[in-house]
Structure 1
Amino acid sequence: MPMAADDIAGMIRAAIPDAEVEITDLAGDGDHYAARVVSESFRGVSRVKQHQAVYAALGGRMGGVLHALQLTTAVPN
């Protein structure tokens, strides 16, 4: 069963409250998304740790309910 973009964004915002989250459905199938997550909490944190924080927010849904997520993280300008 595919995940809705709003559900993905909500889970990320729940775990990273200050996050600005943009979700794009890449294939129109609810299984392949791109996410851009911008958060002050990422400042000074390695890109790997930033991505791990986002994946942790998704509660183990990667590779199961959520098949693919092209992830971009950043700190605010």
Structure 2
Amino acid sequence: MPISLPDLESAIRAAIPVTHLEIIDQSSGCGENYAIVVVSEAFAGKTTLARHRFINELLKNEIAQMHAFSQKTLTPKQWEDQLAKGSA
């Protein structure tokens, strides 16, 4: 069963305070390949691995139904720095 973008968004927003969230369905609408960018203060002080493990655990049921899933997790400061560099 395909995962919907609103389901992913709801799960993420219910778990952590989100400053910015992008969810891209890279599967042309079939819901089997998503890329996300999550910006949250909840990631402050955590390694990239810890952030990814957190998101993987949060979305484990949804990810289990996907073919592919990628994520980028940033603090608000890291996001601002990327925007300033033009690489967001």
TM-score bin, normalised by smaller chain: 0.7 to 0.9
- Residue ranges of structure 1 left out of the alignment (5+ in a row): none
By how many angstroms is 1:70 displaced?
1.2
Corresponding position of 2:22: 22
Q: What's the counterpart of residue 40 of structure 1?
A: 41
Describe the SS at the equivalent of 2:37: strand
- The yes-or-no answer on 1:12 pairing with 2:12 is yes
**Larger gyration radius, structure 1 or structure 2:** 2
Identity percentage of aligned residues? 35
Which amino acid letter does the alignment assign opposite residue 56 of structure 1? E
1:4-49 deviation line (CA, Å, top 9, x unaligned): 0111111011111x12321001121210011001111101100001
Could you tell me which residue of structure 1 aligns to residue 83 of structure 2? none
Number of the residue aligned with 1:68: 68
TM-score, reference length from structure 2: 0.77
In structure 2, the CA distance between the partners of 1:61 and 1:27, relative to structure 1 (3 Å rule), is closer
- 1:60 Cα deviation from its structure 2 partner: 3.2
In structure 1, the residue matched to 2:32 is: 31
* CA distance in 2 between partners of 1:54 and 1:3 (Å): 16
Deviates more, 1:19-28 or 1:36-45: 19-28
Q: How many residues align?
A: 75
Q: Aligned pair in 2 of structure 1 residues 52, 21: CA closer, same or farther (>3 Å)?
A: same
Q: Structure 1 CA distance, aligned partners of 2:31 and 2:10? A: 15
